[in-house]
Amino acid sequence: MRAMRRRRAGRAATASAEVLRFAQDDIATRPSQLQDSLAIGRFVLHNENMPPVSMGRLELMLLLAVARLGEDAYGLAIRRDVAERIGREYSVGAIYTTLERLQAKGLLTSRSTAPTPTRGGRSRRLFTVTTAGRRAIRDAQQMTASVWSGIAKPLPGRA
């Protein structure tokens, strides 16, 4: 019991002593937004010892769709892209709930566009992959390659 307490205390001290840094890509590309973020107390921090972000299958598919669509990454376009690629339709609610979860994890950001007359005056919500999101995509790609390594193609046996 005492050993566990000592280990926890040691980890807490190490974690508090670790250097955290701003996500440099975001600062370099959007300095004016940095001032806005500082003014309202929003910081993007990264701990060098953090484990990779855990993502489910749909989360990864949506994150990749946003990366693929770039400036055209809004809800309906993301839903269409995923449906075309995997041959399965997801509900609008499932898409937006998952996009919200990715935002909460810091993998995506969103912004609203100006209202458009073709949508009856409604604006679109555009999504963008963050630095942490790009890192999560890279980690998922490396993990997948690692899991598949050593598997013969095609797989032996009957399909």
Dump pLDDT digits (tens) for 111-141: 998 887 776 778 889 999 999 999 999 999 9
pTM, entire model: 0.64
Neighbour-count burial of 54, counting CB atoms closer than 10 A to its CB (0-12 exposed, 13-18 middle, 19+ buried) = exposed
Using CA atoms, how far residue 18 sits from 40, 58, 86, in Å, is 24, 33, 42
User: CA-CA distance, 54 to 36, in Å (whole number)?
Assistant: 30
Spans of all domains in the chain: 1-50, 52-148
Which distant-in-sequence residues (6+ apart) come within 8 Å of 44 by Cβ? 22, 23, 26, 37, 106, 130, 131, 132
Whether CATH 1.10.10.10 fits 52-148: yes
- pLDDT tens, position by position, 50-69: 566 788 999 999 999 999 99
Instruction: Count Cβ atoms below 10 Å from residue 14 Cβ, excluding itself.
Output: 10
Closest Cα partner for 90 from 48, 122, 62? 62
